[in-house]
Amino acid sequence: MSERRDHAKDFWQAVALSADIGQRPKRVFFEGAPLVLFRSAQGIAALFDRCPHRLVELSTGKVVGGEIECPYHGWRYDGEGRCTAIPGHVGAMPHYRVRRYAAIERDGVVFVSSGAPQGEPYLHCMEGKDIIARRVRSSTQSTVIDAAENILDATHTHFTHKGLLRGLTSKRHLVRVEVTGGEGWVEACYTGEDRQQGLISRLLEGERAKTIGRFHHPGIA
């Protein structure tokens, strides 16, 4: 039973853009827990966002020499979560640790995991192709299942987004949709519409060969 629970956590989850992690640490939430992201000597690091000394948020501290320093009493932790410095301490360092999460950067995105994933994280449906990608950050209050359902249900846009994504006329386009899937993912591929007629689409989009909506467990849509 415990092995099954551990296996269920062996996935990568996108939590931030690489550009968000600069000189200062960044706080994110993952699986309901606060994490602090920072650039350590070994690369991107993700630790539980609490100093075990007085439970102060490490994300309110600063990065010193690739280590995160607690703003309260100056305890420092490396990218593995090991305590490396305690101001005023004499002698061998105690074996204090902060919980470490697996972290990796790929294609401008930071991924974390509470398990031990095998292989690379999923990026997008055009991964490996010669494309131009623009990464933006936005926020909304929703569940990822609702967001995925919205993306996969492309036929709602002529009603909900009339004039913005779709045109104002009653003209309809006959499109073909193929739904495929596998372990932990489902994809809807739409063909037959070379471009949308709404204001946003005309300003920002060119012609399209196909439109792909994909949900990838546990939280990428």
Whether residue 6 sits in one domain with residue 66: yes
Residue 29 lies in a domain: yes
Whether residue 197 sits in one domain with residue 156: yes
Is 80 exceeded by the pLDDT of residue 8?
Answer: no
Instruction: State what percent of residues in the chain have pLDDT above 70.
Output: 96
Residue 207 lies in a domain: yes
Whether residue 153 sits in one domain with residue 109: no
Say how many domains are in the chain.
2
Is 70 exceeded by the pLDDT of residue 90?
Answer: yes
Mean pLDDT of 134-141: 82
Whether residue 149 sits in one domain with residue 107: no
Whether residue 155 sits in one domain with residue 99: no
Residue 122 lies in a domain: no
Residue 134 lies in a domain: no
| Domain CATH for 106 | 2.102.10.10
Residue 148, pLDDT score: 79
Residue 136 lies in a domain: no
Whether residue 167 sits in one domain with residue 105: no
**Which residue range forms the structural domain that includes residue 45?**
2-113
Q: Which of 18-32, 101-115, 166-180 has the lowest mean pLDDT?
A: 166-180
Is 50 exceeded by the pLDDT of residue 1?
Answer: no
Q: Which of 187, 195, 209, 9 is nearest to 129 (CA)?
A: 209
Residue 123 lies in a domain: no
Residue 44 lies in a domain: yes
Whether residue 39 sits in one domain with residue 107: yes
Residue 121 lies in a domain: no
